[in-house]
Structure 1
Amino acid sequence: MSDTETPSEPAPRAGRREWTGLAVLALPTLLVSIDVFVMLLALPSLSNALGASSVQQLWITDIYPFMLAGLLITMGTLGDRIGRRRLLLIGAGAFGLASIASAYAVSPAMLIAARALLGIAGATLAPGTLSLISTMFRDPKQRGAAIGIWGACFSAGAIIGPLVGGTMLDHFWWGSAFLLGVPAMVLLLVLGPVFLPEYRNPDAGRLDLVSVLASLAAILPAIWGLKEIARDGWQAVPIAALLVGIGFGVAFVHRQRRLPNPLLDLSLFGHRAFTAALVSMFLGTMLTGAVMFFVTQTLQLLYNRDPFHAGLWMLPAILANTVSFIVSPKLGQRYRPAYLIGGGLLICTLGMLVITRAQADSGPAVLITGFTLVFLGAGPLVTLGMGLVFGTAPQEKAGAAAALNETSGQLGFALGIAALGSIGAAVYHGSISMPDGLPADAARAAKDSLTGAKDAARDLPGTVADTLLAPAREAFATELHTVVTIAAALLLATAVLVTALLRHMPPTGQPSAEAAAGPAEDRDAVTATG
C-alpha cells in the first residue's frame, strides 16, 4: 500500500515533538558530513605523524566510503526489521567511539581499522535518519519541508568542512578532525529516545545472510573499480573488479526475486514514480557530483586556492543550494514535480554552460557563478525526488527505500567521477603541447596532469616554471570545458526524461490516479506502458 494519503484519509500532521526530532537528526547529519570532508585536509598531517605509506594513505581515505556504500542496503533493511531508532542509536554510539579511536590512533593500521568501523556505523545514519523522517512526517507537504532541511544540512557539510577543518587543524593536532562528530552523536544518544519514534516492520522476517554477502560482493568491487578507474584510467584490474561487481549484482537481484522475505524488496520498483525518481536522482548525482569534483579541482589547481579559501569561494553555491532545498517543497505544493525537477535541471545545465566560459587566466568568479546556478537548480531534484521515493514506498519499507536512495547516490557519484574523469584525462593528454627546451622529466610530468606540472615546476627557475605551467593550465581548462559540456548535454537529456516519466504526478499532497490505484493496479499500468 502506498504511503500517499487520500482526501478521505488525511495524513496526521507533525507537531512540535516531530520538528524537535528533526533538529536532533539534522545536526548529526551536518556534522557527520563535515567530518567526512575534513578528513581529506588532515591526511597530510596524519600521514607524517603516523608514518603512513602511500598505499596506507589510500586505504585511510577509501575504507570509509567502501564500507559505507557496501552496507547501506543491509542497514536500511535491518532498521525495518529490528527498529529504525534502535539501529540509528546503535550506529551513533559506534560512530562516536570509532571517531575517538581514529583521533587517537597510534599507527596506520589502527586508523584504517577505526575508519572501517566508521563506515559501518555511518551506513546506519543516512538511511536511519531518512526513514525516521518518513515515519515522523506522514503529511506529504510537511515531509517535503523536512527532507529539504535534511538535504540542506548534508550538502552544507561538503562546503563547510574545509572551512571548519582548516581552522581546527591550524590550532589543534590532526586527530581533532575526527572529533567533530562526537558531540553530535552524544546529543543524538541523549535526545533520540525522547523525541524520535520507534518503528519496525513486524512481518519483515529474518535477515538473509547470503543476500548480505552478495550485496557486499556486488557493491564493494564496483565502487573500488570505479574509484581506481577515476584515479588511474581504464586498467585491467579495475575493469575486472567492476565486472565482478556487476556479476554479483545480477546474482543478488535473482536471489531477491526468489526469497519470501528478501533483503531488498524489488516490488518497490513496481511503482513508476519511485523508479523514475530514483533513476533521475542517480543520473543527477552522477553528473552534478562530477562537476562539483572538477570545480573543486579547478579552484585549487588552476586558480591556486588552498582548501580553506576554496571553501570560502564555494559558499555562494551552498547558500543557493540551501535556499533551493527550502523553497522547492513549497513550490512543490503548487506545481507538478516533473516541471519543477525538469526546470531545476535546466538551471543546472545553464550553470554548466556558464562554467565553460571560465578561462585559465581569469579569476574564479565565472566558475563560481556557474557552479552556484548548478547548486540552485539541484534543489527540486533532491527534495521532490526523495519525497516521491518515500511517498510511494510503503511505510514498512521506508528503510529499504532510504538505503536505495543513498546507494544510488554513492554509485552515481563514483560512476560520474570515473567516467567523466577518464574523458577529462584523455582530453588533457590530447590537447597539451609542450614547448621545446624543457627538462624531459618535468615535461613528462606536465603531460600527465596539471598536478604533475605544478609539482615539477617547484624545482625549476621562475621563467622555466612559467613556460612549463602555461600549456598545462590551458590543457586543464580545455579538460574542464569538455567534461562540463558533456555533463550539460546528459543533464539536459535527464531533464527531458524525468519530465516525461513524472508528468502524471500531481503537486505534493494532491492525490493521483496512480496512487489511488494501489500497487497492483500501478504495476499493471507500468506493464501496459512498457
Structure 2
Amino acid sequence: MTTPPKATPREWWGLAVIALPCLVYAMDLTVLNLAVPALSRALAPSASQLLWIIDIYGFLVAGFLITMGTLGDRMGRRRLLLIGAAFFAAASVLAAFARTPAELIVLRALLGIAGATLAPSTLSLIRNMFHEETQRQFAIGVWIAAFSVGSAIGPLVGGWLLEHFWWGSVFLPAVPVMVLLLVLGPRLLPEYRDENAGRVDAASVLLSLAAVLGTIYAIKAMAEAGPSAARLALLVAGLAVGWVFVRRQRVISYPLLELRLFAIPTFRTAIVAYALSCLAMFGVYIFIAQYLQMVLMLTPLQAGWATVPWAGGFVFGSMVLAPKMAARYGPGPVLVWGLAAAAVGMLLMVAADGPWALWVLVAGMVVVSLGMAPVFAVGTELIITSAPPERAGAASSIAETASEFSGALGIALFGSAGTLIYRHQLGGAGLADVPAQAQSTLGGALEATNRMLPDAARALVSAAQAAFTDALQFTALVSSVLVLLASVLAARMLRRPS
C-alpha cells in the first residue's frame, strides 16, 4: 500500500492563508450586532430595515453554499476562493461608508454571496493539500479553530473599534485579510477542479436558493415573532420547493446536491451528528449571550471575554485533542464520546444560578467546546474524505448547509420554547400589573422598569431574571438530551453494516 505524501512547508503556509478568511467570515456573523446602536443613530433605519441589515448576510451565505460548493468543483476551488475574496474586500469597504439603510442591505447581501465561497472552497482545498490522515485532521482542526476564534474575537474587536471609530469601521478588518489572500493565494494554494464536471444547472440553483432562503427566513421569523399563517405557509412552501429540488437532483447528470453521498454510512453519520450538534449549540447559545448581559449584568465587552474560554476550548479541542484521540481510538469512538462529553457540559449549565452562576456557566461552555471540537473536526474529515476527491466541494457545502439549517432551526425551536417558559414563570411570580412589554422578553422587562417606581421595578427585575434563568436551564437540559441522542444514534449508525 502506497504511503500518502507528507505536506511540505508550502501547504502549511497555505493553511495559514486559508484560515484567515474563515476567521473573518465568522467575525462578520457577529460583529455587526455591537454596531446596531451607532448604526441606528447614523442611518436611522426602520425596524424592518434593521432586521434585514443584520440577517441578510447569514441568509445569503446559507442560500448560496450548495451552489458555491459545486461551482468550485467545476471552475476551480482556488479560483472561486480568490474571486470571492476580491468581492468580499470591495463590499466591505463600500459597506463601511454606506450612506443609507438600503445601500447597507444591498452590500450586506453581496458580502453574504461572497462569504458563501469561503467555507466550501477552503475546506475542499484542505482535502487536496493534506493527504496524510494525521496531518489532514490537524489541518481541519486549524480550519475549525479559525471559525471559533473569529466568533470569539468578533465582539472584542468590534467593541474596540466602536470605542475609537465610527460604526462602519467594523467592516474594515476584513479588507487587509482578503488582500493578503489575493496576494499569497496564487502562490501557496493549489488549483483543483473536476475535469469531468458538467454545466451547473440554473434551475437547480434557483430551486436551492428558494428552498433554503424561504425555509430559513420562515424559521427565524417564527423564532422572533411567533408562528402565523403567513410564516407557516412560507415554511411549507420552502420545504415543498426543497422537495422539488431534491427530486431534480436525482435526474440531472451533474447535480448540485450529490445524493449518492448519503448512501455512504460514514458520510451519513457525520452529517447527522453535525446537524444535531449545531441545532443544540445554537439553541442554547442565544440564551447564554442574553443571560450574561441581562441576568449577570455584564457589559458587552465583559460578556465577550466570558465567551473566550469557550473559543479556547474549541481551539485546543480541534488542534490538539481531535488528532490525538482519532489516532488512538479511531474516528467512530471520538464522534460518539465527544458528543457524550458535550452532553455533560450542557447538563452542567443547568446548574448556572446563584453567586457561582458565571463560573458554572463558563465551566459548562468549556466542557461543551472540548467535547464538540473533536466531533466537528473528525466529523468534517469523515464528510470530505468519504466523498470522491472531485466532489469534495459539494460535500463541504452539504456540511455547511446542514449547520446553517440546523442552527436556524435550533434558534427557532429553543427560542420559542424559552419564550413560553419565560412568560409562564413570570406570570406565576405573583406580581401585580406586569407591563405587556415585560411579558415578551427579558430586555423588554428591563426597559419597562425605567417607567416604574423603585420597589416595583426591583421586584419585576428579580422575577424576570429568575424566569429567564429557568428558560436557560430548560434549554440547556433539552440540549443535553439532544446531544446525548446524537451520540447514541452515531454509535448505532457506525455499527450498522454498509
Question: TM-score w.r.t. structure 1 length?
Answer: 0.91
Residue number among 472, 481, 490 corresponding to 2:482 in the alignment: 490
Is structure 2 residue 418 aligned with structure 1 residue 424?
A: yes
Structure 1 position 347 matched with structure 2 position 329: no
Deviation of 1:11 after TM superposition, in Å, equals 2.0
Point out 4+ residue stretches in structure 1 off by more than 4 angstroms: 360-363, 434-438
When residues 189 and 417 of structure 1 are mapped into structure 2, their CA distance, relative to the original with a 3 A threshold, is same
Please give the alpha-carbon distance, in whole angstroms, between the structure 2 residues aligned to 1:306 and 1:270. 48
2: distance between equivalents of 1:75 and 1:336?
31
Match of 1:76 in 2: 69
Aligned to 2:177: 184
Aligned-CA RMSD value: 1.4
Aligned to 2:214: 221
Query: Could you say which residue in structure 1 is the equivalent of 2:157?
Result: 164
Which stretches in structure 2 are left out of the alignment for 5+ residues? Answer: none
1:277 pairs with 2:270 = yes
* Letter of the 1:47 counterpart: S
Q: For the residues of structure 2 that align with 1:376 and 1:239, how far apart are their CA atoms? A: 37
Q: Which amino acid in the other structure matches residue 349 of structure 1?
A: A
User: What does the per-residue CA deviation read over 1:241-277, in whole Å, with 9 as the maximum and x for residues that have no partner?
Assistant: 1111110111001001001111222111121101110
- For 2:99, what is the secondary structure of its paired residue? coil
- The structural deviation recorded for 1:431 is 1.7
Match of 1:254 in 2: 247
Aligned to 2:376: 382
Pairwise CA distance, 1:362: 5.1
Q: What residue is the counterpart of 1:397 in the other structure?
A: 391
Q: Distance in 1 between matches of 2:230 and 2:374?
A: 38
Residue by residue over 1:160-205, the C-alpha shift from the partner in whole angstroms, topping out at 9 and shown as x without a partner, is 1111110110001111001111110000000000000000001111
CA contact (8 A) 1:76 1:399 kept: yes
Name the CA distance, whole Å, in 2 between partners of 1:77 and 1:405: 13
Do 1:353 and 1:484's aligned partners in 2 also have CA atoms closer than 8 Å? yes
Q: Spell out, residue by residue over 1:66-114, the C-alpha distance to the aligned partner (whole angstroms, 9 max, x if none).
A: 1110000000100000000000000000000010110000000000000
Q: Distance in 2 between matches of 1:397 and 1:434?
A: 55
**8 A Cα contact 1:433 1:471, kept in partner:** no
| Residues 1:314 and 1:437: Cα distance change in structure 2 (over 3 Å) | closer
| Post-superposition CA distance 1:488-523 (Å, at most 9, x none) | 11111111111222258xxxxxxxxxxxxxxxxxxx
Letter in 1 for 2:474: T
Equivalence for 2:457: 465
Question: Structure 1 residue 200 and structure 2 residue 188: aligned?
Answer: no
Query: Given the alignment of the two structures, is residue 358 of structure 1 paired with residue 359 of structure 2, yes or no?
Result: no
Which of 311, 316, 323 is 2:316 aligned to? 323
Query: Corresponding residue for 1:107?
Result: 100
Aligned partner of 2:236: which letter? L
Does the Cα contact within 8 Å between 1:339 and 1:503 map onto a contact in 2? Answer: no
Residue 298 of structure 1 corresponds to which residue in structure 2?
291
Measure the CA separation in 2 of the matches of 1:360 and 1:446: 22
Scaled by the length of structure 2, what TM-score is found? 0.97
Indicate which of 360, 364, 368 corresponds to 2:362. 368
Where 2:194 maps in the other structure, the secondary structure is coil
Q: Hey, what does 2:118 align to over in structure 1?
A: 125
Counterpart of 2:448?
456
| Partner residue, 1:97 | 90
Say which is worse superposed, 310-319 or 198-207, in terms of deviation: 310-319
Q: How far apart are the structure 2 equivalents of 1:86 and 1:486?
A: 43
Any idea what SS the aligned residue of 1:351 has?
A: helix
Is 1:18 equivalent to 2:11 in the alignment?
yes
Distance 1:369 1:27 in 2: 28
Matched, 1:410 2:404: yes
Q: CA–CA distance in 2 between the matches of 1:427 and 1:305?
A: 23
Cα distance in 2, alignment partners of residues 320 and 248 from structure 1 = 39
Contact 1:295 1:371 in 2 (8 A): no
Which range is displaced more, 398-407 or 302-311? 302-311
Is contact 2:351-2:357 (8 Å) kept?
A: no
Q: How many residues align?
A: 497
Identical aligned residues as a percent? 45
After superposing the two structures, state which structure 1 stretch, 108-117 or 10-19, moved more. Answer: 10-19
Contact 1:303 1:364 survives alignment (8 Å): yes
